[in-house]
Amino acid sequence: MSKTTLIDTTRRDDLSIDASAVNSKEARALYKKRSPIHPKLAHGTFRNLKWAAMVVLLAIYYVTPWLRWDRGDGRPDQAVLIDFEGRRFYFFFIELWPQEVYFFAGLMILAAFGIFLSSALFGRVWCGYACPQTVWTDLYIHVERWIEGDRNERMRLEKTPMSASKAGKKLAKHTLWLLIAAATGGAWVFYFGDAPTLFSNIFTGQAGTPVYLFVGLLTFTTYILAGSMREQVCTYMCPWPRIQAAMIDKDALSVTYRVDRGEPRGPHKRGESWEGRGDCIDCRQCVAVCPQGIDIRDGDQLECINCALCVDACDEVMHKVGRPMGLIAYDSYANLERRKLGRGTSYRLLRPRTILYGTLMAAIAVLLAYGLATRSSFELNVIRDRSPPYVRLADGSVRNDYVFKVINMSALERRVSIEVSGLQGARLHATGIAGSGPVVTEARADGVTTLRLHVTVPPGIEAGTHALRFTARDLSLGDETGSASAFLAGANP
Amino acid sequence: MANSERDEATGMQTTGHEWDGLRELDTPLPRWWLIVFYTSIVAAVIYWVLMPAWPLMNGYTRGVLNWSDRRNVAAEVQALQSARAPMFARLAEASAEGIAADPELQQFAIAAGQSAFGDNCATCHGAGGGGAPGFPVLADNVWIWGGTLADIEQTIRVGVRSSHPEARFSQMPAFGRDGLLSPRQIGDTTEYVISISMARARLTPDRAAAARGGVIYQEQCASCHGGEGAGDRLIGAPSLNDDLWLYGGSRAEIRRQVEQGRGGVMPSWEARFDAGTLRSLAYYVHEMGGGEPDAAPAPLTPPQ
């Protein structure tokens, strides 16, 4: 699809629009009320990309908790579930226990490097397309536009005194916003409980207080952040615009106004010559469509989220006035510099920085996959009783006590034998039982079986710490796991 | 604010005051800060009305919600007790084998017993039943009054030398202090006791003295401690044929016990605990490691 097909060439209204940047030097004050921003609807490649990103991301968010995944009897059938009560995290075929939280840490690190890499390559694409703040704000603006009309109609509505029709529009808008916000909070809690059950429980008043609390909390934050705070979240609250400067270098792409081509700017009448002037006709369409309310021609700014809607707006205008497109485009500082020197542009995607980020991502991904593929579903943890450190028995032998935790992550019960090795004469046994061989126990499925056992060593053992080892073996599958521990003996009384 | 002036650098007004040549900008507080501030004041007033807040001469304002943390805790404790009641009732009926056969009950018994033990018993017997001189080790397999679940529970219930009418009671004479034996005879008896105990390996008794002491032992001690020092649990006479000593295992400490005939006191816990808690406590002590089976020893766990 070529760019021209996306442009509405039937529109022939006056290209110029009255718009000014909210952060222009003149408007900057130490204490300033928020100037309302009424972004105009843009048409073009990047607007379409944003529509696609919004639909896909919102679909992932709202639909995921409803996906089912059969795990067998008595186990949750929700594909993605964070089960705090059962202390499990289910993700399709993966089931994680709390002590495996490092997989989450790995995922977070992977995500962090992902955002580093995307920033180094394409600037703030995260901010412009994928950040929840951007996606929900975009959705809210769309609702606003649907009910109150586009930029000019909205601005006119702001100025008119309150009337039944205005009140009706405002009421409709805020009701829709609140519904979206409530759905957002609702979808959030579905990740933490069985979605269909929770859904009906919420409406019948059966869900727990935390559920209503979180639905309420997320309804509130969604409504406030996407409804009234919008660009202020990016400009004042979010740490990322400050951090991202460290990932962006002169070769990173970002939405850029081509000063060399645009200046000197000025109004242009049809038929006038383009000689001795820039291509920018100062129509301020780029400002009008900007959801952040800024003027991209002022250069790269903290406020700019690189959504490229100004690119769409400018391309449309350039098409209409018959100048080449790309006056505002994804470009790099390096290219701006090169053009000043009269050299051609070049894009360097492969740079030490991007290669490093990419390599690190691959390494972490491989490490995570390896960890996931080789993780054991059968473990033995041994905790030695420390009080008393050892017990002397009537016949002079010495006993130490241990708590064994047999961790069985599989869905089947295991019959497990535990034995001790590495210490001469050591016997493993339960309370009140002489015992000599291994101790056999049932390790329940998908859980931890705890048992307290004793190790007794015959008289004559030297005082001090002795090393020993416990081995647990699955009697039917034959797999083994073990744990090293210590045996303490004291001096004579 | 007659002296208020506009500051050139910032464009803000000053407060008009001057302190040693310093003037201050009259910078307004951020709006969000003021909103939070006034909201807090309103919230505080609402709180005073709803919740207990102001101290009075004879109490405090109760608030219209009539909230009371003390009452809430009491209700929670009550709820917890009634939630636990069925388990305690089951526990009071169960035998050692019965508890061991039911993992849920066993877990409950150990948890309840451990908690009661930590609060009431560990001060003397040590956390984990490690004991201390004069306070028996509970984790080993030597029992003065018996080591079955029933024996242990009975000892906890009635106490030792306590004021309970059925208290476990034994009294060793103070052979030295009361002049029943001469110091020389006590020395001979001590050598004999060492010679029949497992301490003989490390303390090397004097043979001649032990031979003389043997005669005294048979006359004075054997009726309770047994001819070979096996002890008697029915009357609470400790065994002397092992190497575990309540009041210390050195030659001097063993001699001192023959001289002084010491015996400690353990209170009766019957009035303090209900039947379920008593059973859980007994089970916890039983499971420290030295508990004995109720009847015949349980068969070994088969290795296959």
What digits encode the pLDDT tens for the residues A88-146? 999 998 889 998 989 999 999 999 999 999 999 998 899 999 999 999 999 999 999 99
Q: What is the mean pLDDT of residues B37-41?
A: 97
- A chain contacts of residue B291, beta-carbon cutoff 8 Å: 431-432
CATH T-level assignment (fold) for domain B71-166+266-286 = Cytochrome Bc1 Complex; Chain D, domain 2 (1.10.760)
CA distance, residue A432 to nearest chain B CA (Å):
5
Closest residue of chain A to B142, computed from CA coordinates: A394
- The pLDDT, as a whole number, for residue B2 is 55
Q: What is the mean pLDDT of residues B189-208?
A: 93
- The pLDDT, as a whole number, for residue A14 is 59
ipTM score of complex: 0.80
What count of CB pairs under 8 Å joins A to B? Answer: 100
CB contact under 8 A, B139 and A475: no
CB contact under 8 A, A393 and B142: yes
Q: How many helices (H) and strands (E) does chain A have?
A: 15, 14
How far the first Cα of chain B sits from its last, in Å, is 96
Tell me: the pLDDT tens digits for B208-231? 999 999 999 999 999 999 999 999
| Average pLDDT of every residue of chain A | 89
CB contact under 8 A, B10 and A385: no
CATH T-level assignment (fold) for domain B183-260 = Cytochrome Bc1 Complex; Chain D, domain 2 (1.10.760)
CB contact under 8 A, A387 and B12: no
CA distance, residue B165 to nearest chain A CA (Å):
31
How would residue A29 be classed by pLDDT, with cut points 50, 70 and 90? low
- The residue ranges of every structural domain in chain B are 14-60, 71-166+266-286, 183-260
Question: Which residue of B129, B242, B298 is in closest CB contact with A433?
Answer: B298
CA distance, residue B158 to nearest chain A CA (Å):
24
| Average pLDDT of every residue of chain B | 90
CB contact under 8 A, A399 and B292: no
- The residue ranges of every structural domain in chain A are 1-375, 378-489
- A chain contacts of residue B248, beta-carbon cutoff 8 Å: 493
Tell me: the pLDDT tens digits for B103-136? 889 989 999 999 999 999 999 999 999 999 999 9
How would residue A460 be classed by pLDDT, with cut points 50, 70 and 90? confident
CA dist B150 and B97 (Å) reads 12
Q: Assess A433–B contact: CB distance below 8 Å, yes or no.
A: yes
CA distance, residue A219 to nearest chain B CA (Å):
20
- B chain contacts of residue A457, beta-carbon cutoff 8 Å: none
Question: Chain A 365-394, CB below 8 Å of chain B: which residues?
Answer: 385-389, 391-394
Whether CATH 2.60.120.10 fits A378-489: no
CA dist A335 and A25 (Å) reads 27
How would residue A72 be classed by pLDDT, with cut points 50, 70 and 90? confident
- The pLDDT, as a whole number, for residue B10 is 76
CB contact under 8 A, A493 and B249: yes
- The pLDDT, as a whole number, for residue B27 is 83
- B chain contacts of residue A31, beta-carbon cutoff 8 Å: 27-28, 30-31
Q: Is the confidence at residue A4, as pLDDT, over 60? A: no
